[in-house]
Amino acid sequence: MNKKIRGKIIRIVDATTVVINLGELQGITTDNIFSILSIAENIIDPFKNNEELGNIVITKAKVKAVQVSDKFTIASSKWNEYEFFGGAFNILKTANEPQVISKGGDLNIDESQVEPWKALSESPISLGDIVETTITEPESERKTNRKASDTLTPPPH
In a domain, 88, yes or no: no
Share of the chain above pLDDT 90, in %: 33
pLDDT band at 8 (very low <50, low <70, confident <90, very high): very high
In a domain, 97, yes or no: no
Query: Measured in whole angstroms, how far is the alpha carbon of residue 132 from the centre of its chain?
Result: 6
Domain that includes residue 15, residue range: 2-81+126-138
In a domain, 12, yes or no: yes
Which CATH number covers residue 7? 2.40.10.410
Closest CA to 37 of 11, 13, 63: 63
φ, ψ of residue 136 to 5 degrees: the values are -95, 115
Q: How far apart, in whole angstroms, are the C-alpha atoms of residue 54 and residue 3?
A: 24
In a domain, 130, yes or no: yes
Closest CA to 74 of 58, 63, 84: 63
The number of folded domains in the chain is 1
Question: How confident is the model over 20-57, as pLDDT tens digits?
Answer: 999 999 999 999 999 989 877 788 999 999 999 998 88
Q: How far apart, in whole angstroms, are the C-alpha atoms of residue 124 and residue 119?
A: 10
In a domain, 154, yes or no: no
Closest CA to 62 of 9, 135, 11, 10: 9
Share of the chain above pLDDT 70, in %: 65
| Residue 95, pLDDT score | 54
φ, ψ of residue 121 to 5 degrees: the values are -75, -20
In a domain, 152, yes or no: no
Residue 140 clears pLDDT 90, i.e. is over it: no
CB of 34 closer than 8 Å to CB of 75? yes
| Residue 96, pLDDT score | 58
CB of 133 closer than 8 Å to CB of 34? yes
Question: How confident is the model over 107-125, as pLDDT tens digits?
Answer: 576 777 766 655 455 678 8
CB of 127 closer than 8 Å to CB of 12? yes
CA distances from 136 to 62, 104, 133 (A): 19, 25, 10
CB of 56 closer than 8 Å to CB of 39? yes
| Residue 155, pLDDT score | 52
Q: 61 pairs with which residues across the strands?
A: 36
